[in-house]
Amino acid sequence: MTKKKHKEEVLFNFNGGWDYSPSPESTGHVKLKERYDLYIDGKFVAPNSGKYFPTTNPATEKVLAQVAHADESDVDKAVKAARKAYENVWSKLSAKERGKYIYRIARLMQEKARELAVVETLDAGKTIRESRDVDVPLACNHFFYYAGWADKLAYAFPNRTVSSLGVAGQIIPWNFPLLMAAWKIAPALAAGNTVVLKPAETTPLTAMLLAEIIHESGLPAGVVNILTGYGDTGAAIVNHPDINKIAFTGSTQVGKIIQKAVAGTGKKLTLELGGKSANILFEDAPIDQAVEGIVNGIFFNQGHVCCAGSRLFVQESVAEEVIQKLKDRLDTLYVGDPLDKNTDIGAINSREQLDTIRKYIKIGKDEGASMYESSCEIPKTGYFVRPTLFTDVAQSSRIAQEEIFGPVLTIQTFRTIDEVIQKANNSPYGLAAGVWTDKGSRIFNMTSKLRAGVIWANTYNKFDPTSPFGGYKESGFGREGGLQGLGAYLRMENGELQN
Amino acid sequence: MRLEILKTYKIFIGGAFPRTESGRYYTPLDKKGQPLANMCLSSRKDFRNAVVAARKAFGSWSEKTAFNRGQILYRIAEMLEGRKAQFVEELVKQGSTDAKAKQEVELAIDRCVYYAGWCDKYQQVFSSVNPVASSHFNFSALEPMGVVGIIAPQANGLIGLVSTILPVIAGGNACVVLASENLPLCAITFAEVLATSDLTGGVVNILTGTEKELVEQFHSHMDVNAVVYAGGNREYGLAIESGADCNVKRVFIYENDFTKETDENPYYITDLQELKTTWHPIENVGGATSSY
């Protein structure tokens, strides 16, 4: 018997750099119009001013389409349509039928999911992987979830008699354009309100596709009106006297202006604002999983996430190891064409936001923090930033206090549990927080002491239509999602019991 | 003839009864125009001190067990019952009739018992386990907002005060309260009840003085999380609503007088609660199902 010599030949080199071949999602299926009008009273109409503005693909800086700029008179027209639809049709429809319309919208969205995902990626710069697997399915599911509530409202709030509010004015941001439209429209309709919605100026396209879907669903004219425009359009909605409810998602700065504007008007208000969420890693955490969670926490959607885990707190004993692993992981992230299925980090949403992120990176350096950025190549055109982290960050540092809304992570260390609770809570914001530890009792200690509306333990950036979302402190008030999200769209009166 | 000992009405901060730091006073009158007492005319500084005391008390009060908070609220009812005659006398002195005063005091006592009972129940009624479509356990529970500023109703010096304070502290908040300007006597006597009810010092702080002077403090103080306005003045209500943006305060304007049975319900508790949602992954290995 001859012994076969063991082969020492190396078949695969796991140490070298591996490259993926480009794998772009086809856009051939998508036919964008040259121009998008306003959706008012069941019709697509030109803005009164005749003004349009371009919306661009942030990954290529090319114009995708022209979009109508609604002014005060268009807003007034939309509110009148919404009021008329509320009085004459929507509030008279049985709750069951109302629910069925919402189900129908959800199904149509599912049928067009691929188109919606591609357009979302083109317009917002987010990776196709995320728009396909997160944004669009969650948006559909949101409609599904709230559709079923329409005829079950009486069970939601014990001993309250609930009724709809009337016309809801809704203003949404550019980071999750379609998903935020779903978060706003679905509960408003389920509760029996009609809607005037304004998408952000840099990401209006999926909202207009949603308008087409709503139109196709046969929803009565005027129940949902969608107006594109800038801040002045949003202001006209906030200040319109015949609106009963304002729902806003966006910056804390604008949220405060809206809170002041709405004061004394009797309009019901919910605000989902900014954040500077702490992600806390204890020495007993499963480090590799935690590193993945931290990366997902801050680099998901280019860091354009109000609940992004932008402040990392690492227990001192494992800081060196964790920071090294984070740096290694940063280097493996693919930054580039958002349409490529391999891309981890897509384009920054706009030139303006790119400038903001660069400004903060400079501030971080000027403040004396140590910067590390991925060594990856970034495309020559389009708005891109390398994933970046800062160590040696002081608690008082602006990059640790202010919301950057980009792929920039600050890292601080801690020794004791009391210290990290204090540091984590030392922020005007209170939207979310993350905790990584293997110890169950510590998880509950931490999750109950952190002053934030959403706490992820051993996970991060998870969302679901059944799960209420919203902040403490200057991150806003009111919740979206779940049974509790209905409350924002209902008037509640004493029920049958005496008290 | 024995000379009556008159009571000095002070304010209530951090479980102690200091005079206003400003040394000022005002003299509300009864229906016949006779002075009721020299009340502390609380200043901005008193307000700030009260907020510091409330913030300090908030942590330990909110972390007491719900059962324990219920026990303490019930203890407040016991103490109030024991001092019933004193409250009736004060209400009459401030213009109420014997019958009405008795009714108001009894309603206040019963309302304490009502909210004592809610302490360990509202959480179950309003929390939820959320059936998310992924392998996570997800639940939402209520947590107190923090430091709440309360401007109590001007009418009904006892029941208005008690009805606005109780749901706030039943839910684990700490508060700074401005008593009715013209009917302030019961507020300070109620503070004496609180001081002997095992309530953590600083959970309730009560000031006397004028809305005109202090209303701005309520909405502009950066360490106040929410404001309950029940004073009935639209102008002040609007000032609070439009000033609350400085730190995104939650504002609740109550226009009822709290004399009816329907003026007590758990939604007065949940108004001053935040909702916290917690996620944790569920391990997903092996093929065994729960259908053994």
Whether the CB-CB separation of A197 and A225 falls below 8 Å is answered with yes
Q: What is the pLDDT of residues B129-178, one digit of tens each?
A: 999 999 999 999 999 999 999 999 999 999 999 999 999 999 999 999 99
> For residue A57, what are the β-bridge partners?
A62
Kindly tell me if the per-residue pLDDT of A4 is higher than 60.
Answer: no
Whether residue A472 lies within 8 A of chain B, CB to CB, comes out as: yes
Residues A326 and A267 in one domain: no
Residues A253 and A311 in one domain: no
Q: Nearest CA of chain A to the CA of B253: how many Å? A: 10
Whether the CB-CB separation of B167 and B269 falls below 8 Å is answered with yes
Q: What is the pLDDT of residues B195-244, one digit of tens each?
A: 999 999 999 999 999 999 999 999 999 999 999 999 999 999 999 999 99
With an 8 Å Cβ cutoff, are A499 and B263 in contact? yes
What percent of chain A has a predicted confidence (pLDDT) above 90?
92
Q: Which of A271, A472, A497 to mutate to test the interface with B (most CBs of B within 10 A)?
A: A472
Q: Which of B225, B245, B259, B267 to mutate to test the interface with A (most CBs of A within 10 A)?
A: B245
Residue with tokens 């009721």: B36
Confidence band (pLDDT; 50, 70, 90) for A264? Answer: very high
Supply the ipTM of this predicted assembly: 0.94
- Comparing C-alpha atoms, which of A326, A262, A264, A252 is closest to residue A296? A326
The residue from A25, A120, A130, A272 that is catalytic is A272
Q: What is the pLDDT of residues A367-422, one digit of tens each?
A: 999 999 999 999 999 999 999 999 999 999 999 999 999 999 999 999 999 999 99
Q: Considering the domain boundaries, does residue A44 fall inside one?
A: yes
- Comparing C-alpha atoms, which of A91, A495, A40 is closest to residue A224? A40
CATH number listed for the domain at residues B38-281: 3.40.605.10
Which of 128-147 (A) contact B at CB < 8 A?
141
Which of 235-264 (B) contact A at CB < 8 A?
237-238, 241-242, 244-248, 250, 261-264
With an 8 Å Cβ cutoff, are B247 and A428 in contact? yes
Confidence band (pLDDT; 50, 70, 90) for B49? Answer: very high
Q: Check which CATH number belongs to the domain holding A459 and give it.
A: 3.40.309.10
Q: Nearest CA of chain B to the CA of A120: how many Å? A: 23
Round the average pLDDT of chain A to a whole number and report it: 95
What percent of chain B has a predicted confidence (pLDDT) above 90?
95
Q: Nearest CA of chain B to the CA of A474: how many Å? A: 5
Tokens describing residue B179: 């008593």
Q: Considering the domain boundaries, does residue A18 fall inside one?
A: no
Residues A206 and A339 in one domain: no
Q: Which residue of B has its CA nearest to A457?
A: B280
Residues A185 and A81 in one domain: yes
Q: Nearest CA of chain B to the CA of A414: how many Å? A: 22
d(CA B207, CA B188): 8
Residues A224 and A326 in one domain: no
Q: Considering the domain boundaries, does residue A181 fall inside one?
A: yes
Whether the CB-CB separation of A29 and A113 falls below 8 Å is answered with no
Confidence band (pLDDT; 50, 70, 90) for A423? Answer: very high
**Domain boundaries of chain B, sorted by first residue:** 38-281
Find the distance separating the first CA and the last CA of chain A, reported in whole Å. Answer: 93
* Boundaries of domain holding A104: 35-273+476-492
Residues A293 and A339 in one domain: yes
With an 8 Å Cβ cutoff, are B277 and A158 in contact? no
Name every chain A residue with its beta carbon within 8 A of the beta carbon of B131: 466
- Res A11: pLDDT: 62
Q: How many CA atoms lie within 13 A of A29 on its CB side?
A: 10
Residues A130 and A263 in one domain: yes
With an 8 Å Cβ cutoff, are B248 and A455 in contact? no
Q: What is the pLDDT of residues A280-331, one digit of tens each?
A: 999 999 999 999 999 999 999 999 999 999 999 999 999 999 999 999 999 9
**Rg of chain A (C-alpha set):** 24
> Torsion angle, CA of A88/A89/A93/A97, rounded to 10 degrees?
180
Residue A299's identity, in one-letter code, is F
With an 8 Å Cβ cutoff, are B276 and A158 in contact? no
Per the structure, how many domains does chain A have? Answer: 2
Whether residue B129 lies within 8 A of chain A, CB to CB, comes out as: no
d(CA A25, CA B244): 47
Residues A200 and A258 in one domain: yes
d(CA A355, CA A475): 23
Model confidence, pTM = 0.95
Q: Is A9 a catalytic residue?
A: no
Residues A254 and A290 in one domain: no
- Res B291: pLDDT: 66
Residues A119 and A189 in one domain: yes
Residues A248 and A311 in one domain: no
Residues A373 and A307 in one domain: yes
d(CA A121, CA A129): 9
Residue B230's identity, in one-letter code, is A
Q: Considering the domain boundaries, does residue A263 fall inside one?
A: yes
Mean pLDDT across the stretch B184-199?
A: 97
- Res A1: pLDDT: 47
In three-state secondary structure terms, A124 is: helix
d(CA B131, CA A467): 8
Q: Check which CATH number belongs to the domain holding A112 and give it.
A: 3.40.605.10
- Res A21: pLDDT: 86
Whether residue B279 lies within 8 A of chain A, CB to CB, comes out as: yes
